[in-house]
Structure 1
Amino acid sequence: MHAYPTDQARRLVRSRFPDALSAVLAGSTATGRATASSDLDIAVLIDDGGVTCRETIRFEERVVELFVHTRTGLLELFAADVASRRAVLQNMYASGLVLVDSHGEAGRARALAEADLREGPPALGPETVEEKRYGLTDALDDLTDASDAIERLAVAGYVVNAAADLLCDHHHAWIGGGKWLPRRLLEADPQRGAALLEGHHRLCGSGDPAVLISAALEVLDLVGGPLREGYRRTWHGTIDSVAAAR
């Protein structure tokens, strides 16, 4: 495998996207967290008339995640990432290493990304917060009562995600999935985020849910407290039950 992933990324863009308007290398390689097996995350801006897509390839023995978009596609993807409250592509452009920059295109895309990041994600509506409070309260009851170790682990995963979602919304902070969940959680609230993660870690190691339950209850207290009796939803003709969402 070639030793320098940045050089690999440049060779890939030159060979596969010779007319690219801009290309940005993001992810662990750009932030200094890369390992020998890390993939390359590359955002490529192409002219309108091309195809906006995401594609995984292998180049010089390294896996590459390509995020290819036209100018119109980039704006649509930015809007979708804001709506999802994750800002994945915005973070790629804001923190990535510029590989190609034709006539300032990369700079313009970065400016748009940074503006979205400064604005922050849209707040969850009151009904959605209530729904998530009810779902988390119900899960904490299940976690308290769970005697099966496998079920306890499954419920604990839901508890961490639900509490993280509510905590990030409370702080008007972006959310994340996978490895980005703990990173975004700690950015949003270092103290409460760390308590949730430590509670989950302890439960996974010892099976004791007490610390996780306490941390999740603290999050619930920030957003109105546990919700059981009094919760009511009206059917709107779609499958939108809390049970289905879980």
Structure 2
Amino acid sequence: MKDQEAALCQAGRLVRELFPQALGAVLGGSAALGRSTPTSDLDIGVLLPDRAGSGREVIRHEGRLVELFLNSVDDVPEFFEWDRARRRATVVFVYAQGMTLTDPHGQVARTRQRAQEVLAMGPPPLTAEQWCHRRYVLTCYLDDLADTATPPVNRYEQLVIADHVLREAAELLTAHHGAWTGIGKWMPRRLIAADPVRGNDLLAGHQAVAERADPGPLSAAAGELLELVGGPLREGYADRWQARPTEAQR
């Protein structure tokens, strides 16, 4: 609680010092949820009068890293839709679950309400093509992971493949439940929130690869997930190029 209060006070000082023109601001992320560590950065959403300053910035304030999410009031609806389409809704979560730092005109309250509505909607469902693509990709990584069970084991390759299996499985499992996904430390948090049993099996399987070089539990957990969403996909998969690559893209 003391760490949370200290973070709240520091975030308030930052907004007053650097954004005196702000229409409102919130402290989000781990600090707002009481889950920060001494080295955690601060995630601060700031509402500005115009779009000129909109963007994402990382600064250091009073010795602590701060990630700033800057938006004008006018661009919030469009930005939230873009954030939702990514299926992570990073800034939406900052406002929906954050702590208000300043709100002189009620703009933060309205933005928080909109953010909570977006979270309640959930991420957009995957298209049929996206489901097939993710099943195919996870199938490929699982085949590669199975190959690492036979000595001699290249641990570098095994660990990288296991990371990809977990990432792709997390995307499929959260999509299956219509739940938000995440990256970094938010990936296991969102995975467990979406499906405590299967999410824990995937994470424990990944840990088995890291600690014991045993790909069996992860292969089993990801394989069960694949069966849940339509099964492995190998031959028969096709993905057509939408446009020829330009010279610069080749």
Answer yes or no: same fold by TM over 0.5: yes
Partner of 2:67: helix, strand, or coil?
strand
Give the equivalent residue in structure 1 for 2:33. 31
* Contact 2:51/2:75 (<8 A) preserved: no
- Equivalent residue runs for 1:4-43 within 5 Å: 4-43=6-45
Could you list the per-position Cα deviations for residues 117-167 of structure 1 after superposition, in whole angstroms to 9, with x for gaps in the alignment?
000000111111111111111111111012311111111110001111011
Matched, 1:64 2:66: yes
Q: Distance between the aligned counterparts of 1:92 and 1:58, measured in 2?
A: 19
Q: Distance between the aligned counterparts of 2:170 and 2:36, measured in 1?
A: 26
Q: Distance between the aligned counterparts of 2:191 and 2:212, measured in 1?
A: 23
Letter of the structure 1 residue corresponding to residue 216 of structure 2? A
Letter of the structure 2 residue corresponding to residue 131 of structure 1? H
Q: Structure 1 residues 169-178 or 27-36, which shifts more? A: 27-36
User: Number of residue pairs matched?
Assistant: 238
C-alpha RMSD of the superposition: 1.5
Q: How far off is 1:66 after superposition?
A: 1.0
- Equivalent residue runs for 1:100-115 within 5 Å: 100-115=102-117
* Contact 2:51/2:71 (<8 A) preserved: no
Q: Distance between the aligned counterparts of 2:116 and 2:200, measured in 1?
A: 27
What is the TM-score normalised by the length of structure 1? 0.93
Letter of the structure 2 residue corresponding to residue 202 of structure 1? A
Give the equivalent residue in structure 1 for 2:132. 130
Q: Distance between the aligned counterparts of 1:80 and 1:238, measured in 2?
A: 26
Q: How far off is 1:232 after superposition?
A: 2.2
Give the equivalent residue in structure 2 for 1:195. 201
Give the equivalent residue in structure 2 for 1:173. 179
Listed as ranges, the gaps of 5+ residues in structure 2 are 246-250
- Equivalent residue runs for 1:144-159 within 5 Å: 144-146=146-148, 147-159=153-165
Give the equivalent residue in structure 2 for 1:232. 238
Identity %: 49
Q: Structure 1 residues 123-132 or 228-237, which shifts more? A: 228-237
What is the TM-score normalised by the length of structure 2? 0.91
- Equivalent residue runs for 1:44-63 within 5 Å: 44-63=46-65
Q: How far off is 1:102 after superposition?
A: 2.0
Partner of 2:81: helix, strand, or coil?
helix
Give the equivalent residue in structure 2 for 1:205. 211
The 4+ residue runs of structure 1 with deviation greater than 4 A are: none
